[in-house]
Every structure is written in structure tokens, then in C-alpha cells.
Amino acid sequence: MDVKVVSKSKNELRLEIIGEDHTFCNLLQKILLDDKNVELAGYDQPHPLIRSSIVYLKTRREASPEKTLLNALANMRDFNKEFDEKFTEAVGLS
């Protein structure tokens, strides 16, 4: 996975994520949209044969898009950890 900043301003951030598709970006978008500081979040895959996505984020007020994205990534880690624990328990491996 490579990440490139396409553009950024005080309340907006646009990234190109190379090597990821809907699986990662859809979860990231959902978690970003759950944040009250986020006005707009989404992603686009310019071509179906190229594993590259453009993620965009616009925050409200004084919220930093970089910090908001870092918070979303931390929430994704927590979500995955919780799923791992519940799955391990469900299959009797705990």
C-alpha cells in the first residue's frame, strides 16, 4: 500500500491509496461519516482494473482533517480488535 497526498487545505484532505479497493475504503468511509466533525467523506475508484482509490474528507469548523483521519484509523483498529475477540470467542478458541 502506498499513500499519496493529492491535495490538502485547512478543512479538506484528498489522498490516493494505491493497492487498496472497496474493502478498506468502504470501512474507512463509514467510520469517518460516524464522526461528528466530518462534513463529507467518500472515495472513488477511477478505474476497476487498477487497485487505486481516491479518498476525500472535509471536516467541520476547526477540526483538522489529518487528525480526524488518524482518529478514524484508530477506530478501525479498535473495530478489528473487537471483531477478533468476538470471533475467537464464538469459535471456541479463547
Q: CB within 8 A of 22, min separation 6: which ones?
A: 45
Domain ranges of the chain: 2-90
The pLDDT tens digits of the residues spanning 74-89 come to 999 999 999 999 999 9
**Given this model, what pLDDT does residue 50 score?**
86
Q: Is the torsion defined by CA of 17, 22, 27, 33 positive or negative?
A: positive
- pLDDT (mean) for 25-51: 94
- pLDDT (mean) for 6-34: 95
Look at residue 94 and tell me whether its pLDDT is greater than 90.
Answer: no
- Place 36 in a pLDDT band, splitting at 50, 70 and 90: very high
CB-based contact 20:54 (threshold 8 Å): no
First to last CA, the chain: 32
- 39, 35, 30: which is closest to 71 by C-alpha? 35
For 2-90, CATH number? 3.30.1360.10
**Given this model, what pLDDT does residue 87 score?**
95
| Residue 35 identity (one-letter amino acid) | D
Q: Are strands 2-8 and 12-18 parallel, antiparallel or unpaired?
A: antiparallel
The pLDDT tens digits of the residues spanning 45-77 come to 988 888 899 999 999 988 999 999 999 999 999
